[in-house]
Structure 1
Amino acid sequence: MPDLDFSLKHLQESGAQASPLQVDGCNSIWLLDDDASMLRALGRLVKAAGFSVERFNHPIAFLSRLKEAICQVAVIDVWMPVMNGLEVQACLIENSPATRIIFMTGRDDPLVRQTALDAGAFGFLAKPFEDEALVQLIHKAVAG
């Protein structure tokens, strides 16, 4: 399980951004994807659905934000450099257990999907997915 303090040190050494790319409010939906165009599109979609959004392009930047804010719902890409989505999920379980996690992936591996869901993921979407599928999952996650 990744150590958050070690991860923050790695963040500083790698030069990744320590703050979110966009912050619209407290208790917002956090988006994590290393693909900049996907991250922008997701941000527009989630914001248009009426939610506040924080966007992150690096797993360590995402995790470092946990020291400052509460994440109610996180939408996380599975395959990213440095840490994969399952490793981010492990950190969230340890440091923010109430966060509901929705995974998305361009490579839908049944074992990865089952591992994520068994660890408590709220949902799992294979890219490309319908916008409405994500919005509905977020609404359900926020509602509890």
Structure 2
Amino acid sequence: MFTYMLDLDTSLKHVEESGAQASPLGVNGCDSIWLLDDDVSMLKALGRLMNSAGFSVEKFNHPATFLARLEHAICRVAVLDVWMPDMNGLEVQACLRQDSPKTRIIFISGRDDLSVRQAALDAGAFAFLAKPFEDEVLIKVIQEALEGH
């Protein structure tokens, strides 16, 4: 088991709570990384981290909005929180497997439950990171997911 640290930057003023927020294509030329987390401060911090690493980002704070976006776009890599109201990350993963089977899924969770970790990996998750984690680790895992796509 690995433990990593993510520096939450609270200086961001705004995140659209109603759904997706897209950034321009990253300098590395990859498709958008989709972030899903019901914790708005975590979503903002992850978005800033991904943008600073050169990734284009779409941020979602509700699973239904995330899944609705699949009707109009292709998701190559999704970073999903496990524990969210209404629908947990494993349920989102099941929908992604059906609607977008090539999407690489990276789970992040504040509760590193071994049975949940194993269920996510058994269902095809690319990686599972326990919060807090180091910024560089998440960036490296995303790069590996994109390279293997």
TM-score range, shorter chain: 0.7 to 0.9
Task: State whether structure 2 residue 55 is matched by structure 1 residue 51.
Answer: yes
Structure 1 residue runs without a partner (length 5+)? 1-15
Question: Equivalent residue for 2:145?
Answer: 141
Residue of 116, 124, 130 corresponding to 1:120: 124
Answer whether contact 2:22 2:56 (CA < 8 A) is retained.
no
**Is the contact between residue 35 and residue 80 of structure 2 (CA under 8 Å) also seen in structure 1?**
yes
1:62 paired residue among 66, 89, 94: 66
Per-residue CA deviations over 1:6-58 (Å, capped at 9, x if unaligned) read: xxxxxxxxxx83x4133434830000000000000000001111110000000
Q: Secondary structure at the match of 2:90?
A: helix
Which residue identity lines up with residue 49 of structure 2 in the other structure?
Answer: L
State the partner residue of 1:3: none
Equivalent-residue separation in structure 2 for 1:36 and 1:77 (angstroms): 12
Does residue 85 of the first structure (1) align with residue 89 of the second (2)? Answer: yes
Aligned AA (2:65): A
Q: 2:21 matched to which residue of 1? A: 21
Structure 1 distance, partners of 2:138, 2:120, is: 17
Compare 120-129 and 21-30 and name the one that shifted more: 21-30
- Residues 78, 106 of structure 2: 8 Å contact kept: yes
Aligned to 1:106: 110
Q: Which has the higher helix share?
A: 1
Q: Which runs of at least 4 in structure 1 moved beyond 6 Å after TM superposition? A: none
Query: Number of residues paired by the alignment?
Result: 128
State the Cα RMSD in Å. 1.3
Seq. identity, %: 67
